[in-house]
Structure 1
């Protein structure tokens, strides 16, 4: 077994077991490493790790099919303001952001407990939709309110064939490991520079904590 194949197998095994994987996308895209979790496994301690050790936005990416079923739009399409008129992104054609939500059983929605509850309930919703449950926008609204503190991302319709973001990389790992189509992604930032954490520093963090680290290219070669 090659070193690359072994690294990928370890990452998928960890993800299948509910653990995090550090995923670096591409130097010519965002050039960022995200902590990526299967959403259904996220506990309050995982939210604490993301906000303390990663520092980026804590988002839940769901598949295009799930987003369609419950009527989750691309946020920019619903904002009636000149700021949303053009995306003008240096790394992509459009943003994946949909609605930011809280589960209705949370209080402010921002605490570790509240965000973990919202995240895991989003995973339960995605699993129900994937399983054929008739889960429509009204059913979604009965459980979640917007705006909230967990940003939902909408995956591209054809996954990695359409887009090579952390959203699609994470959802591809979920599909490969028989997880619901809902994954948490959070960018890792450097405390000293404020920039994206370098791949070398991300690998060192992964080694220190016993987490797998993979390159986006490795996932594309194996899962696309």
Structure 2
């Protein structure tokens, strides 16, 4: 028998998928026993300079673009931990995961410094466009590294890994959008720590956004 909590979780996932289809951001909390973070997550193709400003000002974390495993493979994107030969990468020692998803940092070649809201938005939306028909040669001629947009390489499925990277990609797939999403951690202005889930829910309510638990996404799409 379904409980009211089950129905609420299912509705939240449905609402998140519909918000993505409209190009709107959603708030995704991964899990208390994982990072314990809520990320502001956008479909990459819908990111504007105003969206980048919102992530800087309201979220405060690192603005990253997560790409699906298939797209990352087509672009020949490495994991930084494996690609960089340095003692710092020998033992990453993540308490909540086996590895980091970080890959290269990039700018679009039409940017200057790449850090402004407009230039980051350009890089992000062009990454979404490139992910629709991924080609390594075209990728190399369109973007350059290092840059100011951090790329994350998703695992092949939610069964393998359930970070914000994979949760966002799952929402994009369900919404029939390109396999590229932007994730940015929400931080608490007073403590500097992760924004507590209750505060993240309150932010979502104030701004008319969807808040969804990662476990509900994983249960639906894993």
Return the TM-score normalized by structure 2.
0.96
Tell me the equivalent position of 1:144. Answer: 143
Offset at residue 3 of structure 1 (A): 2.5
Tell me the equivalent position of 2:129. Answer: 124
CA distance in 2, matches of 1:72, 1:220: 25
Count residues with an aligned counterpart.
217
CA distance in 2, matches of 1:165, 1:86: 20
Tell me the equivalent position of 2:208. Answer: 210
Which secondary structure state, in structure 2, belongs to the residue aligned with residue 108 of structure 1? coil
Q: How does 1:11-160 map to 2 (within 5 A)?
A: 11-129=16-134, 135-136=135-136, 138-157=137-156, 159-160=157-158
Offset at residue 86 of structure 1 (A): 1.0
1:197 partnered with 2:195: yes
Offset at residue 220 of structure 1 (A): 1.0
Which secondary structure state, in structure 2, belongs to the residue aligned with residue 73 of structure 1? coil
Which runs of 5 or more residues in structure 1 are unaligned?
130-134
Which secondary structure state, in structure 2, belongs to the residue aligned with residue 35 of structure 1? strand
Report if aligned partners of 2:78, 2:103 keep a CA contact under 8 Å in 1: yes
Which secondary structure state, in structure 1, belongs to the residue aligned with residue 158 of structure 2? helix
Which runs of 5 or more residues in structure 2 are unaligned?
none
Tell me the equivalent position of 1:5. Answer: 10
Which secondary structure state, in structure 2, belongs to the residue aligned with residue 161 of structure 1? coil
Which secondary structure state, in structure 2, belongs to the residue aligned with residue 122 of structure 1? helix
CA distance in 1, matches of 2:158, 2:8: 23
Which secondary structure state, in structure 2, belongs to the residue aligned with residue 5 of structure 1? helix
Q: For 2:173, which of 172, 175, 187 is the aligned residue?
A: 175
CA distance in 1, matches of 2:151, 2:10: 31
Displaced runs of 4 or more, over 3 A: none
Offset at residue 213 of structure 1 (A): 0.1
Report if aligned partners of 2:9, 2:213 keep a CA contact under 8 Å in 1: no
Return the TM-score normalized by structure 1.
0.95
Deviations 1:41-100 (A, max 9, x none): 000000000000000000000011111111111011111110011110011000000000
Offset at residue 139 of structure 1 (A): 1.9
